[in-house]
Amino acid sequence: MIAYNIWRLIGDFFEWAFAPFDALRKGDLNWWESNVVSWVFVLILVLLLGYWMKESARFKREGKEDNA
């Protein structure tokens, strides 16, 4: 019974986590409105890539990069 409850909990979590995508799928939206989630993810990735590149340049400038 415990294993059943664990799988049930996992299923309920993913139904909750993906509810916004289900609402977008069922809605009558244009292209921009339906892809806003994807654009948010792309923006986050670009920001993280910029931070990573800035830190990489700083480590290279200070001579602390891994030369192994």
Is 8 a residue whose pLDDT tops 90?
Answer: yes
Query: Are residue 40 and residue 66 in the same domain, yes or no?
Result: yes
Give the pLDDT confidence of 12-59 residue by residue, as tens digits. 999 998 887 787 778 777 888 778 878 999 999 999 999 999 999 998
3-class SS of residue 67: coil
Confidence of residue 67 (pLDDT cuts 50, 70, 90): low
Domain holding 40, by residue range, is: 35-68
Query: Are residue 39 and residue 14 in the same domain, yes or no?
Result: no
The residue among 38 and 10 whose pLDDT is bigger is 10
Query: Are residue 42 and residue 61 in the same domain, yes or no?
Result: yes
Count each helix (H run) and each strand (E run) in the chain, helices first: 4, 0
